[in-house]
């Protein structure tokens, strides 16, 4: 005689395992949240012009004040709320971000979509910081075509 209870229990356990796996499979698509980001330095290297196909979450500028071996980091946060936009931000996807205490921008960390900084530890750089760019001077206007609106349709 075959014990049907073991067979039903095995089917039930298999169903639970498949049910638990589905959310992992559904959220595994990295392409959906990847942003295309561009950054360049404005005239005089006093600001970084940043553009992304996804909304900007935060920007960290690394600034050099001209003194030997001194630099500082400044974080622009909550960039998805127009009421909190700093001077120079023109849309949820782009803006010019400068060193508030003066100096030139030497690097910019852009958090947009799933982009993140994964390099060596930098003193003062907070967790959740975006990808690093060491931008060159702006030579042409940055194309800031967005995909957020296209995805919402």
Nearest to 105 by CA among 117, 115, 90, 95: 95
Q: Report the range of poorest mean pLDDT among 20-34, 47-61, 91-105.
A: 20-34
The residue that leads in pLDDT, 111 or 32, is 111
**What per-residue confidence (pLDDT) applies to 31?**
55
pLDDT class for 21, splitting at 50, 70, 90?
very low
Nearest to 146 by CA among 120, 121, 112, 102: 112
**What per-residue confidence (pLDDT) applies to 12?**
37
**What per-residue confidence (pLDDT) applies to 145?**
62
Mean pLDDT, residues 88-103 taken together? 90
Strand order in the sheet with 47-52: 37-41, 47-52, 94-98, 89-91
pLDDT class for 68, splitting at 50, 70, 90?
low
Nearest to 130 by CA among 63, 80, 56, 64: 56
pLDDT digits (tens, 9 = 90+) for 112-145: 988 889 888 888 898 888 999 988 888 877 766 6
pLDDT digits (tens, 9 = 90+) for 44-61: 788 999 999 999 999 999
pLDDT digits (tens, 9 = 90+) for 84-93: 899 999 999 9
CB-based contact 59:114 (threshold 8 Å): no
Nearest to 92 by CA among 130, 38, 54: 54
């Amino acid at each position: 005689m075959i014990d049907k209870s073991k067979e039903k229990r095995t089917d039930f356990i298999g169903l639970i395992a498949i049910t638990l796996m589905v959310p992992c499979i559904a959220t595994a698509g990295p392409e959906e949240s990847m942003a295309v980001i561009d950054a360049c330095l404005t005239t005089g290297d006093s600001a970084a012009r940043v553009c992304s196909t996804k909304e900007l979450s935060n920007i960290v500028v690394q600034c050099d004040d001209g003194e030997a071996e001194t630099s500082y980091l400044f974080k622009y946060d909550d960039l998805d709320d127009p009421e909190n936009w700093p001077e120079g931000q023109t849309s949820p996807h782009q803006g010019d971000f400068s060193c508030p205490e003066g100096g030139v921008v030497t690097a910019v960390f852009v958090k947009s979509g799933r982009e993140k900084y994964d390099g060596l530890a930098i003193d003062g750089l907070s967790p959740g910081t975006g990808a690093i760019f060491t931008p060159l001077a702006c030579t042409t206007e940055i194309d800031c075509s967005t995909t957020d609106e296209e995805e919402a349709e």
